[in-house]
A and B are shown apart, each in its own frame.
Chain A
Amino acid sequence: DTAVSQTPKYLVTQMGNDKSIKCEQNLGHDTMYWYKQDSKKFLKIMFSYNNKELIINETVPNRFSPKSPDKAHLNLHINSLELGDSAVYFCASSPLGTGTTEAFFGQGTRLTVV
């Protein structure tokens, strides 16, 4: 069983469209994240949720809206897509607490905006 799964794996869409990426984890973790990885492989956190509550919202355009229907799911909706949104988006999860435990990552969603 995949621990953190994202769908779709690839997404090609036109500028101006609205799209969603789904993420599910079956590890029982309380915390879930969205990261963006650009073409230089730099990894930046976008959002973090604890038990469906938004904890971290880094400087991300409000075209990006995360939704957590329950603690096992964290979806990412993007409105009015722009060329600069092209990147690989990673979902991750980790247990709540002491910070000694690593994050578990999904396989990534490669978004290409044309």
Chain B
Amino acid sequence: GDSVTQMEGPVTLSEEAFLTINCTYTATGYPSLFWYVQYPGEGLQLLLKATKADDKGSNKGFEATYRKETTSFHLEKGSVQVSDSAVYFCALNERDTNAGKSTFGDGTTLTVKP
């Protein structure tokens, strides 16, 4: 079955540091890949996505590139802010699925200190 493996947390960084959160996946088909962010006390919201190989998703200074050859979708940001403190989830959807079920990683908690 499908699976998503994320870098274990928690991750603690100082403001303006470089962020990488690793994500690798296993899927039978050609999935779409997503990063969701969950701020404290809130639901998950989409951060960025990529629907085919070599696509780069970007939003709010975050980027991730769909790498089919390494089955990876690592999340990066050049300079984090305190407001980026949240839990980050990598997820995949199989293509052509009518069930619409997403497979989520276990989440990585990021804390950014001033």
Interface of A toward B, CB cutoff 8 Å:
4, 31, 33, 40-43, 45, 48, 50, 55-56, 90, 92, 94-103, 105-108
Contacts and interface: CB of A to CB of B under 8 A. Distances in A.
B46 A102 contact: yes
B93 A42 contact: no
B34 interface: yes
Contact of A48 (B38, B94, B101, B107): B101
Contact of A105 (B32, B45, B98): B45
A107 B39 CA distance: 10
A102 B99 contact: no
Contact of A43 (B32, B95, B101, B104): B104
Contacts of B38: 41
A100 B95 contact: yes
A43 B89 contact: yes
Contacts of A99: 31-32, 93-97, 100
Size bracket, chain B contacts:
20 to 34
Contacts of B49: 100, 102
Contacts of A107: 42-43
A50 B98 contact: yes
Nearest to A58: B101
A92 B100 CA distance: 11
A41 B106 contact: yes
B100 A108 contact: no
15 contacts: A41-B38, A41-B109, A43-B89, A50-B98, A55-B99, A95-B100, A96-B100, A97-B98, A97-B100, A98-B96, A99-B32, A100-B93, A101-B93, A106-B43, A107-B42
A38 B65 CA distance: 29
A31 B100 contact: yes
A45 B101 contact: yes
Interface string B83-97: 000010100011111
